[in-house]
Structure 1
Amino acid sequence: MTLGRSSTRARAAFLAVAAAGALAAGLAFVWPARVACGGAWPAPLDDVYIHANFARATASGHPFEWIAGQGYSSGETAPLYPLLLAPAFWLGLRGEAVVAFAFGLAALALATACAKLRDLQGQGGALALAGGLTWVSVGALAFTWFSGMEAAAFFAVTLAALASAESARSGLRGRAQAARSAGRWGAAMVALRPEGLLLVGLFALLAARGARSRSPWPPLLRVALPAALVQATVMAANRALTGDLASAGARLKLLASNPYLDDVARTKEVVMNLLSFKWKVLDTDLGPAALAALGALGLLGALGRRTRHATLACVIGALGFSMLVSLNGAARYQGFRYYAPALGLALTAGALGASELGRLARSRALGVASLVALALLTGARAGAARRFFTQASENVHLQQVAMGKKLSRELPGDAIVLVGDAGAIPFFSERRSVDALGLGGYRRLPFVRAAVLGEGAMLEQLERLAPAERPTHFALYPTWFPLATGLFGRELAHVTIENNVICGSPTKVLYAADYAPFGAGDDRDLGSPPTALGGPVDCLDVADVQSEEAHALVAPTPNSGYVGARVARLEGPGLPPEARRFDAGRAIAEDRALSFVARGLGARAARRLLVRGDDDGLDLHVSAPGGACDLRAERRPGAFTHASCDALQVGDGDTVSLTARGRESRVYHVWLAEPER
């Protein structure tokens, strides 16, 4: 009993020392940024405040909501992290103090990671602390750990899962208990980063290695099943509450989700992500000498009998994780934060190699010295990352935070603000918000699927909203949203920063929304044809996500099918003369086809097909199972154009194809109706 209490006290003392070291390293890194932000706690990434929004909603009894009361959002890809941040609000912290709380949480997480490293090394605390020193001496890692994001917490539970899996492999007793522990930590990994599922699978294989002559399935399932269940639960919730299995972040950022890229373009993006990581992190933040030292230590760890399996798990995990996150279109931005766990695992492999070096030399001091030397090599290069952290924090503080506080002071309490992938603006304004990129849920509309298609599709979602539920104001980058700001916005104010290194644009603009191009009441254009069709029986609103999905539309992608939008003259019943209305559509490149499935028509019969194009006119070949026709509309500057054929044989469930002839055509609406008598 006394021995157990002594061991507990020793572990607590080690954690205290490690946490103090992490706090000291973190303060040294972030303090210049705090000064640059006028004493406010710095956040170099606006995404920190996205987590803070989810945490505030959680603390107020609305878990998994971006804004309390607006409903479930799949935009939080780390659903456990808001639960970890929620106590900040229960403690009464507000504003930038919540980011300071996240900083303290990161220091505690790194201390926990040090404790797990000590378990893996099986040697004294000094060697583990030296390994921890390497984690905070690399500029890109320090940037990510102390940014307020979830990376440090994810890294801590990753090492905890690895230590438990290694214990399940190598232990003489308690293997089942260790495997179950690895499974619990693995579940936390997936709840902090979905990419963690890859590492959990690797750790499950590691634990199964200890089965020897027994079946490997029990340890494999004990480690892997909890994480798989967490991921399945998240996907089921997404499907039930948003209609989409994938999270909003995956839809928006993964290269595979971009319909306009072909395989060659996606491959180029992956290669560019990896090369950028090499050039800007491995070559710059580590350098040749540190990379050589890390490689030598990793080789020692891989050759050592005691450290071999854990070291190989770290190396393979680092490589696999790097490849996986390179499929993210945003991987090479935001300080390379997506690569931080992989780099941390690589340094952990080096720390395990240092323990093997100390064992071979019968001198722990030599192992400690090798890690301290590695930390000195990387620390000497951390100045650029520290300056980047400072400048990025100042950018976010002077633009995003300033705009959020401005909205809090100047907008009425019932204002609804349209933002674009913004965290600080809704956090500080405390106003209802709609995310144009779909990372926050709103009325269960598929904003994220629309955002992937383009700005015009997002505007189609705004058109679907009842006027009272539409955003009253926009806080957007006009360079990101030229259609929304140019067609529907009236500028009220703007915030411009200098030396921008992190924000989407130097200038953030506040607009009052004006939805006149949508029309109002009976004057609205909700797919009304330009002339009476004798009762149209089917209407495809091109670039409207719901209408396209209902009609099983197949766009002419990749490299075509781009969504665009315009406001032009529109003639039709109930519309005033010279009415100008909004519509979004898709481009069909020459000799490419857009197809859709007709709905609600009944048996195949002769029907009239009417197509709306833009002022450049139309030149299309239309084909259906019951026949074909050609459509042509001449150019009409400043006005939508229309073309029709009157005897196309079409029935319910038939596929209709529109092929561009001779040049590109842009299609906005398609109607099928009874033919004129």
Structure 2
Amino acid sequence: MARILDRAQRAFRRVSRVLSPLLGYDRALYVLWAAVCTLLSARTFYGYMLKQTSGEWSAPLDDVFIHFDYARSTAEGHPFEWATGNGYSSGNTSLSYPFVLALGYLFGFHGERLMIWAAIVAAVSVFGVLLAARGFFLRNAARASTALGGATGAWMRIASFLLPPLFLAIGSLDWSLWSGMEVAFFLGTWACGLVAFFDLDAAENAQRARRAWLLGLAGAGIVFTRPEGAGTVAAFGLVAAWPLLLRHGWRGWKPIAGLLLRAGLPAVFILVVQTVANRYFTGEYSANGAIVKLAANNPFLTRTEKINDYVFNLNYAIFRNLEYHFTDLPAIGFLLPTLGLATLAFRETRRYGVLIWLQIALWLGLTAFNGQVRWQNERYTMPAVAWLLIAAALGASALVRRRTKPSALFMIVAGALAVQTIGIATRAANTNPEFRFAWVLALLGGIALAALFSLWPLRVACVAAALFFFQVHQEPNYRGQKWFFGRASRNIRDQHLVAGRWLAHLKPRRVLVGDAGALIYASQRPGLDIIGLGGYHALPFARAGVHGLPATLELIERMPATERPDVLAIYPTWWGVLPTWFSSEVLARFPVEGNVICGGYEDVIYRADWHLLGTGNRPRHAATNLRDEIDVADLVSETEHRYVFPSPAGGWTDMKILSDPADTRLDLFDGGRRISGGNSERFVLRHLTPGKAATLIVRSAPDATSHVLVRAAGADVAALDFTPSEGWVETAVEIPADKVTEELSFEFANTGSGDFVDYHVWIAQ
């Protein structure tokens, strides 16, 4: 063993002598190396895309064109609008990215050529990340040179050259970086925050306040690009404040609090302004994307179901990367995290390791609220993957450093976790991840790893083997991601862009879409997104999308007839009866062959027919002098009347088209909610004359037997019995004069066994 150690040390000295003349040029060489790696990665993916699309620029996700929609509106002087004329929208996943894309639009990158500008932005952002992240190595080199000697510091500068190829080695990350989404640009804003963090770290006392503000401004840019970056900003602030806590203890809380406030307030300000703007312009505090995508905003899920959804998303985000994106052999997916965890095993890299791992944990913890985390090639998790790769490069360089040894205790813990990870990765297919090995066995594995890594030559061999096996087992995935990028881009071109160009020639007044993005961008026509991301003035289409199609149609009913879409461009399999009930003919079909990314086999263009909307707004009961009404399932009407349904045990929306009781030759449309047996709904009606008897008119279309108690101001005033019917039923309820006030609260309690479906309620005097 002594002979092996001596030979290894002599080899290390020879390598150092060979490389030492180049150290004076390492900065320029690293810049060149980072640029080459960035351009080669971009060329790999874009080159294959252009090969698949026969030279046309496209994108692998339709959501990319949502950014392009906002960017075009911004360039035309309508910022924060998905489509010009629709008003303020909070539906974009990034507030700042459309402004950056708008610059390209102003520079002449119109149409699909805006993707070229997005590629330039991505390349500059990735290059910036590689330059900024080298600071982990350079600052570590400076510390090592002081504490351990110049050779060790020089090694860290040399080891930094591992960062660019390792950062760009995972195909799924590169897929997201070059996709045209905001992932690369977000990491670019993170790089600005990292530079500000390093500057604050190196500041003298007199400079700390100003540099803390600079970190705060960078943090504002981070959350302005992705609100989930709030955790990333918090990690920068906490790690920056840690040395002050060690130096002064809690008695020095004032400088610590000052640093945290300066580093965090700008980001908090951005989030507050965004929330206030959302509330002012849309009536919602949350952004449309959060309303649509977060299970926490789903009124039909129980608390347990929401927690289970979060846990599922978090497990998926972790293990989808470990077992699929990192390797084609799940049992070795632990290699990258183990190298990353090595940053915590060395005193010189521990603080930076804490920063990176804290940002990874906070990012995954926040994005797990998003039910879309498991779609779109897991792009929502990719910032965490990027940070893990940086940690892995830093950890690998620390492990092969000759003059330091990792913490034995930490390596035991890390080794035990690696053993358990291997156990999880080798579980039976379609089973939940769980620890399969006894912790005694795992700890023995950790002790073996700690003993192994106490010897420098063995550490070097293990790191080299880990990087080798990672590359070997990532290469098939990388090829697959390259193919997936090209094929997905072709799918988007063949279906959405071609359909959008066809719509541009048709020149419809407004296009209803259920998959906002390229259809509107390529057609250059106003749109209505019934998923709700796009927005339309203050109408809550995003929340209606969560409640169901009947709620969405009730909102379209509120639109002026001249503003309603005259064309539907949708996947018919997504929207049930929508094209059957509300279209008059099929205008065109746009199928896609070999589909890997589009939401359906074909986009179908229908001519819209909204003549049934509004037919249910008046009661057919012979009542006069109507004072107020609540249109159930119309979210605007429900909000105005403080409507409450029995969430999550009921209140599912429903709709029907049945013969008009006033004229059986005509049809009547209305939407409502199902109130299951044992539950109730509550609302208020206004504009009544106190002390004067009133008549309540209740519309239903019973499909089950139900018994409904009608309560006014808390007192039972009537009981309604419903039996299954093939038509609309309107029942009148007399409200005694002594119960009537200017504003009267009502409760409909279903005490029967079947569902009561409430469609509309009027009150007359």
Overall identity of the aligned pairs, in %: 33
SS in 1 for 2:562: helix
Aligned match of 2:588: 493
Aligned match of 1:84: 100
Deviation string 1:16-49 (CA, Å, 9 cap, x unpaired) is 5423321211221343232222221231110000
Indicate which of 211, 223, 231 corresponds to 1:198: 231
Aligned match of 1:407: 503
Indicate yes or no: 2:692 matched with 1:598: no
Matched AA of 2:134: R
Indicate which of 733, 744, 755 corresponds to 1:664: 755
Aligned match of 1:476: 570
Q: Assess, with a 3 A threshold, how the Cα gap between structure 1 residues 464 and 547 changes in structure 2: closer, same or farther.
A: same
Deviation string 1:428-450 (CA, Å, 9 cap, x unpaired) is 00011111122223233221121
Indicate yes or no: 2:730 matched with 1:642: yes
Aligned match of 1:332: 374
Indicate yes or no: 2:622 matched with 1:589: no
| Equivalent-residue separation in structure 2 for 1:566 and 1:15 (angstroms) | 65
Indicate which of 179, 182, 200 corresponds to 1:150: 182
Matched AA of 2:717: A
| Equivalent-residue separation in structure 1 for 2:594 and 2:674 (angstroms) | 37
Q: CA deviation at 1:366?
A: 6.4
| Equivalent-residue separation in structure 1 for 2:691 and 2:311 (angstroms) | 50
Q: CA deviation at 1:342?
A: 1.3
Q: CA deviation at 1:581?
A: 1.8
Indicate yes or no: 2:63 matched with 1:47: yes
Aligned match of 1:463: 557
| Equivalent-residue separation in structure 2 for 1:111 and 1:59 (angstroms) | 26
Aligned match of 2:610: 515
Q: CA deviation at 1:56?
A: 1.1
SS in 2 for 1:612: strand
Q: CA deviation at 1:383?
A: 2.7
Say whether the 8 Å CA contact 1:455–1:483 is kept in structure 2.
Answer: no
Q: CA deviation at 1:644?
A: 2.6
Say whether the 8 Å CA contact 1:626–1:650 is kept in structure 2.
Answer: no
Indicate yes or no: 2:170 matched with 1:138: yes
| Equivalent-residue separation in structure 1 for 2:59 and 2:642 (angstroms) | 43
| Equivalent-residue separation in structure 2 for 1:10 and 1:342 (angstroms) | 28
Indicate which of 466, 482, 485 corresponds to 1:386: 482
Indicate yes or no: 2:323 matched with 1:283: yes
Deviation string 1:616-639 (CA, Å, 9 cap, x unpaired) is 2664222232333211244332x2
Mapping of 1:240-259 within 5 angstroms? Answer: 240-259=280-299
Indicate yes or no: 2:669 matched with 1:629: no
| Equivalent-residue separation in structure 2 for 1:360 and 1:532 (angstroms) | 93
Higher deviation after alignment, 559-568 or 106-115: 559-568
| Equivalent-residue separation in structure 1 for 2:650 and 2:86 (angstroms) | 35
Q: CA deviation at 1:360?
A: 4.0
Mapping of 1:83-482 within 5 angstroms? Answer: 83-122=99-138, 123=141, 127-169=159-201, 171-172=203-204, 174-211=207-244, 212-213=247-248, 214=252, 215-287=255-327, 288=330, 291-360=333-402, 373=468, 374-375=470-471, 377-409=473-505, 411-412=506-507, 415-482=509-576
Say whether the 8 Å CA contact 1:166–1:206 is kept in structure 2.
Answer: no
Say whether the 8 Å CA contact 1:115–1:128 is kept in structure 2.
Answer: no
Q: CA deviation at 1:498?
A: 2.9
| Equivalent-residue separation in structure 1 for 2:764 and 2:577 (angstroms) | 32
Aligned match of 1:547: 637
Q: Assess, with a 3 A threshold, how the Cα gap between structure 1 residues 86 and 170 changes in structure 2: closer, same or farther.
A: same
SS in 2 for 1:131: helix
Q: CA deviation at 1:51?
A: 0.2
Gaps in structure 1 of 5+ consecutive residues? 1-6, 519-523
Deviation string 1:104-150 (CA, Å, 9 cap, x unpaired) is 21121111111111112215665444223223211221121111100
SS in 1 for 2:348: coil
| Equivalent-residue separation in structure 1 for 2:130 and 2:161 (angstroms) | 6
Q: Assess, with a 3 A threshold, how the Cα gap between structure 1 residues 502 and 483 changes in structure 2: closer, same or farther.
A: same
Higher deviation after alignment, 480-489 or 216-225: 480-489
Deviation string 1:542-566 (CA, Å, 9 cap, x unpaired) is 0111100011111122142111222
SS in 1 for 2:763: strand
Matched AA of 1:105: V
Gaps in structure 2 of 5+ consecutive residues? 1-22, 142-155, 405-455
Larger radius of gyration: 2
Matched AA of 1:229: F
| Equivalent-residue separation in structure 1 for 2:192 and 2:353 (angstroms) | 14
Say whether the 8 Å CA contact 1:554–1:595 is kept in structure 2.
Answer: yes
SS in 2 for 1:475: strand
Q: Assess, with a 3 A threshold, how the Cα gap between structure 1 residues 84 and 369 changes in structure 2: closer, same or farther.
A: farther
Matched AA of 1:613: S
SS in 2 for 1:96: helix
Q: Assess, with a 3 A threshold, how the Cα gap between structure 1 residues 635 and 134 changes in structure 2: closer, same or farther.
A: same
Matched AA of 1:531: H
Say whether the 8 Å CA contact 1:612–1:668 is kept in structure 2.
Answer: yes
Indicate which of 558, 563, 568 corresponds to 2:648: 558
Say whether the 8 Å CA contact 2:26–2:157 is kept in structure 1.
Answer: no
Deviation string 1:286-337 (CA, Å, 9 cap, x unpaired) is 1357543323322321132232122112112212211211111111001101
Q: What is the number of equivalent residue pairs in this alignment?
A: 657
Aligned match of 1:68: 84
Matched AA of 1:385: Q
Q: CA deviation at 1:54?
A: 0.8
State the superposition RMSD in angstroms. Answer: 2.7
Q: TM-score, normalised by structure 1?
A: 0.91
Say whether the 8 Å CA contact 1:189–1:196 is kept in structure 2.
Answer: yes
SS in 1 for 2:227: coil
Q: CA deviation at 1:568?
A: 1.3
| Equivalent-residue separation in structure 1 for 2:522 and 2:700 (angstroms) | 43
| Equivalent-residue separation in structure 1 for 2:717 and 2:385 (angstroms) | 59
SS in 2 for 1:105: helix
Higher deviation after alignment, 331-340 or 596-605: 596-605
Matched AA of 2:646: P
Say whether the 8 Å CA contact 1:23–1:104 is kept in structure 2.
Answer: no
Say whether the 8 Å CA contact 2:317–2:368 is kept in structure 1.
Answer: no
Q: CA deviation at 1:423?
A: 0.5
Higher deviation after alignment, 326-335 or 475-484: 475-484
Say whether the 8 Å CA contact 2:400–2:460 is kept in structure 1.
Answer: yes
Higher deviation after alignment, 538-547 or 643-652: 643-652
SS in 2 for 1:155: helix
Matched AA of 2:696: L
Say whether the 8 Å CA contact 2:641–2:685 is kept in structure 1.
Answer: yes
Say whether the 8 Å CA contact 2:689–2:740 is kept in structure 1.
Answer: no
| Equivalent-residue separation in structure 2 for 1:390 and 1:231 (angstroms) | 36
Q: CA deviation at 1:171?
A: 4.5
Matched AA of 1:423: G
Q: Assess, with a 3 A threshold, how the Cα gap between structure 1 residues 488 and 160 changes in structure 2: closer, same or farther.
A: same
